Structure 1
Amino acid sequence: MCISGQITVSTLEILQSYELRVIVAADAYERACRSLTLHQLNPTHFSPDPEKKDHKKALIDMYDQRMQIGRPGRPVYEEARNRKGKCPICGVGRVRQVDHHMPKAIFPYLATVPINLLPICSDCNREKLNKAPTCYTEQTLHPYFDEIGGDQWLRARLITLDNGGEPFEARASDNPQSWRIDFYVDPPSTWDSDQAERVKYHFFEAYKLNDIYEDQAADDLPGLELAFEQAFAAGGAPEVRASLEDLARSRARPNRNSWMVALYEGLAANDWFCSGGFHEVVKG
């Protein structure tokens, strides 16, 4: 589609000469996705001879130029962007862009391969670095191939701080100087260490999802203050805890690793929050 029209004869000839290599590269990429061996792919097998810079540019331009609005390859871009309504990386932002799972600057043969084009929000696209994984743990999660939603691995905790800024476990009668909500990866015991480190890299290093989720929590909690007050008036801390656990169960149905599930479970486990500390937390 990308080379079906509106193209010079010389560029068409260049791109047609790489058609088989693009097909082979796409197959190798998919097999690496399925076997979790993307870090073993050799970039030289996915790019023209380094001396043929115009050939590399022509391959990359298939995405940069020939998938623009009104160009022949646009339907491929639109199909990739419209696969999800919400960003499959963070589950928060609205999909507005398309990202290359393996960077087109390093793997130009994959510039227009559909399964290398991922729907993504602008925040996650901005965080992701334009580099290829060099080891197993640097392989970011692929929304089409990585199935880890069956295990709950995302958690959150409310950390209360004393006057010196040190964390301590606040009780109902305490008055912490400040607090923060911390999202973190807590892998189940069935995971091996490499898988756990890979998810941590994806979460903290590649996309900085902890920062995104902390912002979401800060926006979400003020809207729940009235519900917390009513629960507390009805039955004290146990009723607030039960309300939070109910919220977590309902949010877990579509996604056990939603930031909301982690947040509500983490707050339910905090005695100070359930005993009235929620008044301070919702103030921000």
Structure 2
Amino acid sequence: MLHIDRPVKESAREAFQLCTSTKVSKRQKDLLSGFGEPIAQAADAFDSACQASVLHTLDRTQFAPNPPDEAGTDALIDLYDRRLRSKEYPGRPLYDRIRNAPGKCPLCGVGRIKQVDHHLPKAHYPFLAVAPDNLIPICADCNFLKHDRFPTTGGEQSLHPYYDDIEDHLWLRAKLLVSSAPESDAWRVMYYVDQHPSWSDDLAGRVRFHFEVFELGTLYETQCADELVTVGTAMDEVFLAGGEVDVQAELTSWMHIRSKPRQNNWMAALYRALAENPWYCNGGFRAVAAG
């Protein structure tokens, strides 16, 4: 859910030319010779659809050889598998610049970037197999969860880190849920999407879809387990000195610190939720820290 700058400057046409610049057999050259212009056109259509958030309206037949050509499609997919990702071909530096984008995985904000994936899967949109705008840095977990999914409705569009920027809006929230039921957990932290007032319903639906597809609620809840032990221990001393009011003020201060430079991260949301919970600030932190 992080916005990042496009890691490379090459166009889809340039990436295609780079991948086919050396070690191309006559058969491959014959198969690929007519695809330069369709690839450029497909990349332009993809760019326009991303800017308008209408990827679901794209006609997939325009992103593959037409009439259907299995050999040509396989050759296009092979451009990525062997000629961009493989270390033996000149496209590898472009792949590395995308994979080595700084920071955490832009789809979850937690995982370490280890791979490059297609926003629209190459199996269904082979003309976008090496289009840089369709290639995003990603962690292994998000890549697994993404599969070969592509949107068929407006609400099935996950966020694209090059095009979608919602970081100026506070939308990630957490809530500390406390239960007195004997056969349930005494407490748990629940993360959720809180629609920003400036968002359209379409954008809110896309954010929620992204949140669910990549299982961010579960991911963030898992991340905060150790943090709750640490903060609970620290708040004990604060509580003894100034009670509930001081604990709330301390947690609010930590929330502001964790909000820099990105306000929508799981730690900032956690501290905001804890500061807003009277039970927690009035000694509940001890029970939470104890598990």
TM-score between the two structures when normalised by the length of structure 1: 0.92
After superposition, what is the alpha-carbon deviation per residue over 1:60-109, rounded to whole angstroms, capped at 9, x for unaligned?
Answer: 01111112123221111111112233111111111001110011110010
Query: Which residue matches 1:237?
Result: 244
Partner-residue secondary structure (3-state), 1:213: helix
2:37 is the alignment partner of 1:29: no
Give 2:187's match in structure 1, choosing from 170, 175, 179: 179
Give RMSD over aligned pairs: 1.5
**Deviation (angstroms), 1:164:** 4.7
Query: Which residue matches 1:40?
Result: 57
Query: Which residue matches 2:130?
Result: 112
Query: Which residue matches 2:30?
Result: 13
After superposition, what is the alpha-carbon deviation per residue over 1:220-240, rounded to whole angstroms, capped at 9, x for unaligned?
Answer: 222223321221121112111
Q: Is the 8 A contact 1:153 1:185 kept in 2?
A: yes
Which has the higher mean CA deviation after the structures are superposed, 38-47 or 73-82? 73-82
Give 1:130's match in structure 2, choosing from 125, 135, 148: 148
Query: Which residue matches 1:276?
Result: 283
Which has the higher mean CA deviation after the structures are superposed, 257-266 or 217-226? 217-226
Query: Which residue matches 2:108?
Result: 90
Give 1:3's match in structure 2, choosing from 3, 6, 20: 20
After superposition, what is the alpha-carbon deviation per residue over 1:96-154, rounded to whole angstroms, capped at 9, x for unaligned?
Answer: 01110011110010010111110111111111131211111111111111121111011
The one-letter amino acid of 1:181's match is V
Give 1:220's match in structure 2, choosing from 227, 239, 247: 227
Query: Which residue matches 1:258?
Result: 265
Q: Is the 8 A contact 1:149 1:256 kept in 2?
A: yes
1:19 and 1:75 mapped to 2: Cα distance?
20
Query: Which residue matches 2:204?
Result: 196
Partner-residue secondary structure (3-state), 1:157: strand
Q: How many residues get paired?
A: 273
Q: Is the 8 A contact 2:55 2:157 kept in 1?
A: yes
**Deviation (angstroms), 1:51:** 4.1
Higher RCO (CA-CA < 8 Å; seq separation 6+): 2
2:154 is the alignment partner of 1:154: no
Distance 1:38 1:51, change over 3 A: closer
List alignment gaps of at least 5 residues for structure 1. Answer: 167-176
Identity rate of aligned residues, in percent?
44
2:24 and 2:235 mapped to 1: Cα distance?
62
Structure 1 runs of 4+ off > 4 angstroms?
none
